[in-house]
Amino acid sequence: MARSTHNRKDLTGQTFGRLTAIEKAPSRHQYGTTVGYWLCRCGCGNELEVPTGNLTSNNTKSCGCLNHDARQGNTRAQSHGKARTSTWNSWFAMRRRAREDRPRYGGRGITVDPRWESFENFLADMGERPAGHTLDRIDNDGPYTPGNCRWSSPVAQGNNRGNNRMITHAGRTQSIAEWAREVGLTRQTLFYRMNHGWSVEEALTTPTLRR
């Protein structure tokens, strides 16, 4: 029988270095042990699943960008005393995502307002990044501009993701993430059911089997 190291503590919204826990990910069996995982969003915008123990022990603090940024450095940011702050990290990651070699962003035409090539201008327009928030575009197909950006919590940003599927039930339309929280199912379960021919009614009202 596999030994379990699954941590049931709710980490939703908690931050660990640059990582913010979004939701519980499926556990994995590793070397005879069941290991709990969390889906996390990094301050640079990447998402990854991280073992629960790595988060709570601070062994994993980013998607890998932390070491990259530490090696690269930035003289201009250091001059205004904001280098490596959470606000500067979001600005730096925004500009990196808008490169043409990033297919989900620059590769599909997502651009950055020329005014925001300057961190000072970005800070003046957006203000300091609130704790537990990340930079979010209101229109996922639009550019990074003062009028299309906001600081959002993980839940709000998750609801605004371009790959969020909308479901209408009982006269109400919500994203799969919102329905999952309301009916007590995981987002993965609802995606699976909808992609395998379940009706909306069945997908939202059929309880999962508990073992």
Q: Are 13 and 153 in contact (CB under 8 A)?
A: yes
Neighbours of 99 (CB within 10 A): 12
* Predicted structure pTM score: 0.41
pLDDT of residue 100: 57
Ranges of beta strands (E only) in 82-196 are 134-137, 149-152, 166-169, 172-175
Q: Would you state the structure tokens that stand for residue 190, as one six-digit string? A: 């609802």
| Residue 73 in this model has a pLDDT that exceeds 60 | no
Q: What is the pLDDT confidence band of residue 68, given thresholds at 50, 70 and 90?
A: low
Least confidently predicted of 6-15, 115-124, 151-160: 151-160
More confident residue, 177 or 34: 34
Q: Are 61 and 19 in contact (CB under 8 A)?
A: yes
Q: pLDDT tens-digit profile of 96-144?
A: 877 755 556 666 678 888 888 888 888 889 899 888 888 888 777 788 8
CA distances from 164 to 140, 156, 180, 208 (A): 11, 12, 12, 22
pLDDT of residue 79: 40
pLDDT of residue 19: 86
Q: What is the pLDDT confidence band of residue 52, given thresholds at 50, 70 and 90?
A: very high
